[in-house]
Amino acid sequence: MYSFKTGENFKTPFHRDGYSSGRHWNVYFRLLRTSLVVAVLAALPSTVLAQYKDQAESDIAQAAGKEADLQKKIDKLKEWEQKYPDSQLKGQRTLMVAQALLGLTTTAYGKTGPAELLDGAEKSGRQLADNLDTFFSAGNKPAAVTDAQWTGARSQFGLGVHSSLGWIYYTQKKNVEAEKEFKAVLALDANQAQVSYWLGSSIIRQNKVERYSEALYSIARSISVTGATALAPAAATAAEAYLKKAYAGYHGDESDLDKLKAAVAAGPLPAADFHIKSIEEIEKEKFANEDEFNKAHPDVAIWRQIRTALKAEGGDAYFANVKETQIPPDAIGMFKAKIVAVNDKDIVVNIDAAAGDATLKFEKAINKTVINVGDAIEFKAVVESFAKEPYMMTMTIDEPKDNVKGLPDNAFAAQTGPKKAAPKKAAVGPKAAPKAPAKK
């Protein structure tokens, strides 16, 4: 059994003012502001007047260049394109569109709403990100810009748009999309510490325990980065503390944590075969066979038997046998678990899955300030419902004093209103719980 903080809790050390005080973002825009390409895009100088077809084209171009509102600027650029599709300045015009799209996209960075802002920025960002090669094609390169400067400008635009899109998706909890964007950033700049942290968070939020090694690598990588794109001191301290707790929760202790920290020097992403053993794997290696494990951990054994039956074909029918039943049976005692998340009236715990596989519901409000993620508890509870993917069993506990061990005395608020007892059937014993299917 092991514990790993997931979802919302993952962002806590850096949310809002904690994301390195925008240090890595300021680096992008310092580069963008000093870029020769941006200087070219800022306005069309009068010296190119002869390149306009006529005065009307000059007027539209100059109006677009001076427009401060980015969406209106894009509208004027579209008007210019519609009226003068073969303009001698269509390359510069295309780059002006790219600059405006980047500006619209970056307005959402560091913000969590409103939804219209995020959606609009995401739309602009996708248009830019999906067409970067077109915007920065050789045909659009101004004559005064060198190939190296052109390549550098494309990289800067890529950093800006992929970081902004990653932030937008991260805020919207679109974790698969956020992961893709953060990896795109690291492909352009391997030393973006905050992006490495967010990448790890995005992977964890997908609740795939088999990918936790990748996530821990990214968290450790974020701490290792030094220089202008490093985490701010307070954020680095929080990340270090979190890494130790998360690593120990997944691996069982802090052994070999130094090896993980050394491994991240290889690059922003782990090698394909990189793996940190989970406590589950370590436990299995301690025992010669499944029978020995089951004897040592009877609570986990019966939990796995029930889970196997519920997830198998006919699981819904089997659920009728365990619904409103208190588990585990008295012969086993209590389940041993680690706390994964604490909410107003329920606690998510890990019996046999790092992301959490049981939600314990209580009648009384929970005093969240005295219960910590990672704390060990023991419990027995009444089965209420379950979900197959990701697997989660929801159970109720009416008498915490009798049915839970490990919580502090002041874990719950005073009882308000009449107490309602949940019905209980006979406990599910080892014979009633199906055995896991034989391995082929």
Provide the CATH topology of domain 295-405. OB fold (Dihydrolipoamide Acetyltransferase, E2P) (2.40.50)
Residues of the chain below pLDDT 70: 1-50, 415-440
In this structure, are residues 111 and 122 in contact, taking their beta carbons and an 8 Å threshold?
no
Locate 215 and state its tokens.
């996530």
Q: Please tell me the predicted confidence (pLDDT) of residue 175.
A: 96
Q: Please tell me the predicted confidence (pLDDT) of residue 207.
A: 85
Same fold flag, 8-44+89-266 and 295-405:
no
Q: Please tell me the predicted confidence (pLDDT) of residue 417.
A: 53
CA torsion angle 153 154 156 159 (round to 10):
180
For residue 188, count CB atoms less than 10 angstroms from its CB and return exposed for 0-12, middle for 13-18, buried for 19 or more: middle
In this structure, are residues 340 and 359 in contact, taking their beta carbons and an 8 Å threshold?
no
Region of residue 259 (left: phi > 0; alpha: psi -120 to 50; beta: else): alpha
State how far the Cα of 247 lies from the Cα of 263, in Å rounded to an integer. Answer: 14
Region of residue 236 (left: phi > 0; alpha: psi -120 to 50; beta: else): alpha
pTM (predicted TM-score): 0.67
pLDDT in tens, 102-156: 999 999 988 999 999 999 999 999 999 999 999 999 988 887 788 998 898 899 9
In this structure, are residues 358 and 425 in contact, taking their beta carbons and an 8 Å threshold?
no
The full set of domain ranges for the chain reads 8-44+89-266, 295-405
Hey, what amino acid is at 281? E
Q: Please tell me the predicted confidence (pLDDT) of residue 142.
A: 80
pLDDT in tens, 69-88: 999 999 999 999 999 999 98
Provide the CATH topology of domain 8-44+89-266. 1.25.40
What is the number of alpha carbons within 13 Å of residue 407 lying toward its C-beta? 25
Q: Please tell me the predicted confidence (pLDDT) of residue 436.
A: 41
